[in-house]
Amino acid sequence: MKRFLVGVMTLVSLAMPLQASAEETASSAEALLHQMDEASRELSYELSYILIKKNSIEPLRYRHALEDGEVFAHLVYLSGPPREVIQRGHEVSYFEPGLDPFTIESNKMVAPLPPIMRTNIDELASYYDFISMGRAREAGVACDVVRIAPKDGARYSYLLWIDTRSKLVMRADLLDRDGEPLEQYRAVSYVINSKVGDVLKSLKTVELPAVVQLPPQPQAELDWKVSWLPQGFESVSRNRHRLMMTERPVESKMYSDGLFSFSIYISAADHFTVREQLVRQGRRTLHSYMLQDKEVTVVGDIPPATARRVAESVVFADGGKAQ
């Protein structure tokens, strides 16, 4: 009996340092992400990078500065027709070919930037594991590598290369559930310099398009709900509208966990509706199916299996549900 107790105590003593080491690693990875978040929000820098998707490569340049408590940023597409996005405080202006320039009130750009740069790390910690993966080299500098992996396996993950000195993201790989890359943000060069802020401060005097006053969007009361969602996803909007081309009425709800998002659309089925459809292009999944006399469609940045499960969990007030 005494020998048995000694053995148990030995195993416990061996396991405790391993557990402490794992907790310390997770803590250091989370601390590094907080440093990354602070650097991306507060430094004056210029970052040139490429966005690699399955069938395209897009070169971009992003400049950022925080001047007198206000964010100034400028994103330029470096190939194809001229396109750019300018942020000046809580106003973001878009210049797109074929469209009149416009400005909206917002605190962030809708643009191809690594989403991790605009998220709340503390909130993500409830639904994702932060895992230190050692060190590597990217964009010519030494980087700490961190994986952001979902606790439930029902969504994608990120692998980040963070510059050991500046704490800026040098590379961000979006990975599917098998670890295969869906898209990559890869820095080519970067500069951290107060002169970037001096350049961006000139945006104060630039005449930008007037702010578009969007009408208030009331949150519609819909007679359907979703009985299953991946952990952490919450409803951020819901409304009724008509499709632009067909005037077909649609009800929709949008959900987000702070890193990924998707929407559910409900419309009356017609002779164009297919019984079931599943399409994935890069990070974007579309899953639709016909339920009774309605078409249920899930579109967003989630794996196909998750999109299917969400769609099949839609329940109508009259009890209708996918089988």
Of the two residues 292 and 198, the one the predictor is more confident about is 198
pTM for the predicted model, two decimal places: 0.85
Per-residue pLDDT for 123 more than 90?
Answer: yes
Based on the fold, state whether residues 145 and 232 are members of the same structural domain: no
Question: 276 lies in a domain?
Answer: yes
Per-residue pLDDT for 272 more than 80?
Answer: no
Based on the fold, state whether residues 201 and 258 are members of the same structural domain: no
Q: Which CATH number characterizes residue 303's domain? A: 3.30.200.100
Mean pLDDT of 12-23: 46
Looking at the chain, the whole-number percentage of residues with pLDDT higher than 90 is 61
Domain count, the chain: 2
pLDDT for the residue numbered 68: 84
Q: Which CATH number characterizes residue 52's domain? A: 2.50.20.10
Based on the fold, state whether residues 79 and 140 are members of the same structural domain: yes
Based on the fold, state whether residues 145 and 275 are members of the same structural domain: no
Per-residue confidence band for 215, with pLDDT thresholds at 50, 70 and 90: low
Based on the fold, state whether residues 63 and 200 are members of the same structural domain: yes
CA nearest to 117, candidates 52, 53, 49, 69: 49
Based on the fold, state whether residues 197 and 233 are members of the same structural domain: no
Based on the fold, state whether residues 247 and 200 are members of the same structural domain: no
Based on the fold, state whether residues 131 and 52 are members of the same structural domain: yes
Question: 96 lies in a domain?
Answer: yes
User: In the chain, what are the helix, strand and coil shares in percent, each to the nearest 5?
Assistant: 20, 45, 35
As given in the structure block, the two tokens for residue 254 are 């949008």
* 54-111 residue pLDDT tens: 889 999 999 999 988 899 999 999 999 999 999 999 999 999 999 999 999 988 898 9
Based on the fold, state whether residues 192 and 235 are members of the same structural domain: no
Domain final residue, candidates 205, 232, 265: 205
* 236-253 residue pLDDT tens: 988 887 765 556 788 889
Per-residue pLDDT for 132 more than 90?
Answer: yes
Domain extent for 252: 224-316
Based on the fold, state whether residues 112 and 39 are members of the same structural domain: yes
pLDDT for the residue numbered 204: 86
Question: 129 lies in a domain?
Answer: yes
Of the two residues 112 and 292, the one the predictor is more confident about is 112
Phi, psi dihedral angles at 19 (to 5 degrees): -65, -45
235-255 b/e with 16+ CB inside 10 Å = b?
eeebeeeeeeeeeeebbbbbb
- How many CB atoms neighbour CB 222 within 10 A? 16
Domain final residue, candidates 205, 234, 264: 205
Based on the fold, state whether residues 110 and 241 are members of the same structural domain: no
d(CA 96, CA 142): 36
Based on the fold, state whether residues 301 and 163 are members of the same structural domain: no
Question: 158 lies in a domain?
Answer: yes
Question: 92 lies in a domain?
Answer: yes
